[in-house]
């Protein structure tokens, strides 16, 4: 009998020699931009009023750079708002929903959260169009005369809408896109988007805490022509005397922002510009997703949760184990793999979201380097071999 305790490990069970240089694969907060260091952030605005000349200038710079990098047309306003992406989505929902029938589309946890808001909190009796984890609902079912709320990229299932072609140019309803894990990785069709939201900690690797709300002209028209019959907390209020509070979209935030988070976001945006702007960011995400796709294709124990490549995310890539093991056992295998990889500093935070089917979720956004995704492949084999034999 062979003495396996002293035999050197070979093949998939051997510990790989090379580790990803930056093992940050979390789907939010996501990896910092390459070369980021806290000491590189501008700090002149810290310890100052955010309403000082300098404070307002820095907030405006964050807005202007957002416009430049994302190619947001002048028709759309960009505001920095409280409470991250959730704050941006909810202030839009609470302020604008009511005058039109509403459709909510959900195919994973965050979209389902907006359904709960609409059904149980706002009680506006929306039409709900849903699909299971891994699938996209039938987008052609959306009426152009309804307001529609959807996540552009479902971060917890790795399924995204393929484009905006399903949104009618002559719609009378408003589109509300929670695009937090899509912007900066996708060239967004701004003319199709009336309300777009995101936070800084996703594709740009910024900090949580603040949301960005982008309003097209039709959304502004809604805000100025419709007063909802419900209480609106101060941090949701975007109008004054029936007119849009333009200050919000020029850097006069509703309440106090973290200027450190603002400076960190500016750093990320300047990095984006330095590498070639949106096209370069999109190319980096796509290269990362393609590298991960090659890893998946080479392994019979791993597959994409999203079967259709046309709707597969290039940021939050969700993978499933191909095994006969039941769901509980798969959950345990994933837990084991993830803790082994973290202990080795080979990959951080790659378990699927708590409400999603058990699996791995590997962030492929622009701040991740493709070489690190490539270096991850052998580590996944190692962790899988260890977890199975545990």
Per CB under 6 A, residues contacting ligand PLP are 28, 84-86, 110, 151, 155, 178, 180-181, 199, 208
- Residue 212 sits at φ, ψ, to 5 deg, of -115, 135
Tell me if 90 sits within 8 A of 117, measured CB to CB: yes
Q: Each residue of 132-164: b (16+ CB within 10 Å) or e?
A: ebbbbbebeebeeebbbbbbbbbbbbbbbbeeb
CA distances from 173 to 168, 190, 389 (A): 10, 15, 55
Q: Which is nearer to ligand PLP, 180 or 387 (CB)?
A: 180
**In this complex, which beta carbon is closest to ligand PLP, that of residue 333 or of residue 352?**
352
Helix, strand, coil percentages in the chain from 3-state DSSP, rounded to 5: 40, 15, 45
The total of other beta-carbon atoms located within 10 Å of residue 275's CB is 14
Q: How far is the CB of 385 from ligand PLP (least distance, A)?
A: 31
Q: How far is the CB of 239 from ligand PLP (least distance, A)?
A: 23
Q: Which is nearer to ligand PLP, 178 or 381 (CB)?
A: 178
Q: Does residue 213 sit in helix, strand or coil? A: strand
Least Å from the CB of residue 102 to ligand PLP:
18
Nearer to ligand PLP, 45 or 84 (CB): 84
Q: How far is the CB of 316 from ligand PLP (least distance, A)?
A: 7
CA angle 247, 253, 254 (to 5 degrees): 100
What residues contact residue 117 under an 8 Å CB cut-off, 6+ apart?
90, 93
Residue 318 C-beta: closest distance to ligand PLP, Å = 12
Closer residue to ligand PLP, CB minimum distance, 162 or 208: 208
Compute CA distances 352 → 171, 177, 252, 332, whole Å: 36, 23, 38, 12
Q: What is the DSSP string of 162-207?
A: S-STTS-TT-SSPEEEE-TTTBTTB---GGG-SEEEEETTSTT---
Query: Minimal distance in Å, beta carbon 194 to ligand PLP?
Result: 18
Give min distance, CB of 276 to ligand PLP, in A.
26
Closer to ligand PLP by CB, 30 or 387: give it.
30
Please identify, using beta-carbon distances, which residue of 110 and 384 lies nearer to ligand PLP. 110
Q: Which residue has the tokens 């789907």?
A: 27
Minimum Å gap between C-beta 61 and ligand PLP is 21
Q: In the complex with ligand PLP, which residue's Cβ is closer, 95 or 151?
A: 151
Q: How many CB atoms lie within 10 A of CB 274?
A: 11
Hey, is 262 helix, strand or coil?
helix
How far apart CA 355 and CA 4 sit, in angstroms, is: 39
């Amino acid at each position: 009998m062979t003495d396996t305790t002293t035999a050197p490990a070979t093949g998939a069970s051997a510990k790989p020699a090379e580790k990803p240089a930056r093992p940050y694969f979390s789907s939010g907060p996501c990896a910092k931009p390459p070369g980021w260091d806290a000491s590189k952030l501008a700090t002149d605005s810290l310890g100052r009023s955010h309403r000082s000349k300098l404070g307002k200038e820095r907030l405006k710079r964050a807005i202007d750079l957002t416009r430049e990098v994302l190619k947001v047309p002048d028709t759309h306003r960009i505001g920095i708002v409280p409470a991250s992406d959730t704050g941006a989505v909810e202030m839009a929902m609470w302020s604008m929903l009511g005058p039109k029938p509403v459709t909510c589309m959900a195919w994973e946890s965050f979209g389902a959260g907006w359904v709960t808001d609409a059904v149980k909190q706002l009680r506006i009796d929306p039409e709900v169009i849903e699909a299971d984890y891994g699938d996209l609902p039938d987008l052609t079912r959306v009426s152009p005369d309804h307001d529609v709320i959807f996540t552009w990229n479902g971060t917890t299932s790795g399924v995204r809408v393929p484009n905006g072609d399903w949104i009618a140019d002559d719609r009378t309803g408003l589109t509300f896109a929670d695009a937090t894990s899509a912007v900066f990785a996708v060239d967004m069709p701004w003319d199709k988007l009336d309300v777009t939201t995101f936070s800084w900690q996703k594709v740009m690797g910024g900090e949580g805490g603040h949301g960005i709300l982008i309003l097209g002209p039709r959304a502004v028209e809604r805000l100025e022509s419709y007063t909802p019959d419900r209480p609106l907390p101060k941090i949701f209020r975007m109008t004054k005397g029936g007119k849009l509070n333009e200050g919000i979209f020029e850097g006069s935030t509703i309440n106090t922002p973290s200027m450190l988070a603002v400076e960190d976001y500016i750093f990320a945006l300047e990095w984006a510009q330095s590498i070639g702007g949106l096209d370069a960011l999109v190319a980096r995400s796509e290269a990362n997703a393609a590298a991960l796709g090659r890893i998946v294709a080479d392994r019979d124990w791993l597959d994409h949760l999203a079967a259709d490549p046309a709707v597969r995310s290039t940021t939050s890539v969700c993978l499933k184990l191909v095994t006969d093991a039941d769901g509980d056992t798969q959950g345990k295998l994933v837990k084991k793999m993830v803790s082994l990889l973290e202990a080795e500093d080979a990959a951080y935070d790659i378990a699927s979201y708590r409400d999603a089917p058990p699996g791995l979720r590997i962030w492929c956004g622009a701040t991740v380097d493709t070489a690190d995704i490539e270096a991850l492949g052998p580590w996944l084999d190692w962790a899988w071999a260890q977890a199975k034999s545990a």
